[in-house]
Chain A
Amino acid sequence: VRALGRSDLHTEVNYLNGRPVSGNTRGSVRLDVVEGPLDNPAAIYDLKTGSAQLTPERIQQIRSHLPIKAQNIPILEIRG
């Protein structure tokens, strides 16, 4: 993702209660790729390999920690 050189893509971003936080924050959700500004993301990409899947429960968990206006943005699985 970093090699794409897109300034609107951010890798390894954590959110807790609507705010971007550090990666070692207990209770936060860690997202593989965020598109758009970190305070108001436009889409989330979850990188999956093998048999791992983006489950509805995981999607709900992610949404519950995103900034309020971003809680309905697309959350998409990317196969690696």
Chain B
Amino acid sequence: MNASQFKRIATRYLLPKLPGMALKGRLIYASPVDQLLCGYYFETSAFNPSTFVVIAFVQPLYVPFSTVSFTFGRRLSGASGDRWWDLADGEQRVMSGVLSDIEAQGPPILAVGKDPLTFARTAPQLVSSPLTIEARESIGYSYLAAGEYDLGRGELEAFIAEIPSESMDIPWVREMRERAVWLLAHAETNPASVATRMSEWRDQTLRAIKIIK
């Protein structure tokens, strides 16, 4: 399923039934976008281009990242795990099933992205327990974005403490830690600078994923 084919079937079968959603590439997302990206990504198989799986996800944009990410998301599933669809089984039938899955499984996931405070409080239900280091980072940022500085500092302190020393050889891990250290220092002394920086990171992520706010 190439991008133009997806655009055609999404426009025909999905967007009319999903008010408030917009289309970008293989992504259908809640529009307008503010601080969190909430949507459905259609992942095509590399082995069979007519086959795809739908991922419902929420992404806090103020955590800088270069692309859409599914840490806070799930592949929509059937009784036996991820549900892969094949357009060869009939476009209308397949897209009807896709829409049913989206309507049944998607809203509770996307509701987590209502705003940063909702995300901070409810995102743990979308990820493993105990929290991964990456999840703790996003929850910490979200408390800061919501103005809950004490809670944000607590999460980010735990995030930094959990990073194993051997992982610090990896550049992206070091960058994550350095960002958190900066936020911790400024959340204490200059919260306005934290809000400004996180707004810049949100715009940076939006540019990276080519969604105009």
**Which of A6, A25, A30, A67 contacts B67 (CB under 8 A)?**
A25
**Contacts from B to A (Cβ < 8 Å):** 26, 41, 43-47, 65-73, 75, 77, 79-82, 84, 127-128, 132-135, 162-164, 167, 170, 172-173, 176
Asked if B70 contacts A20 (CB within 8 A), the reply is yes
For the complex, give the distance between the alpha carbons of A22 and B65 in Å.
13
Inter-chain residue pair count (beta carbon < 8 A): 91
Do residues A16 and B67 form an inter-chain contact, with CB atoms below 8 A? yes
| B75 engages A69 (CB within 8 Å) | no
User: What are the residues of chain B within 8 A of A70 when measuring CB–CB?
Assistant: 132
Query: Which parts of A31-72 form the interface with B (CB within 8 Å)?
Result: 37-40, 64, 67-71
Complex Cα–Cα for A70 and B15 (A): 37
> Assuming A38-B71, A68-B164, what are 16 further A-B pairs, CB within 8 angstroms?
A2-B84, A5-B81, A7-B77, A8-B81, A10-B75, A12-B45, A17-B65, A18-B172, A18-B173, A19-B65, A21-B70, A22-B41, A39-B71, A40-B132, A64-B170, A68-B134
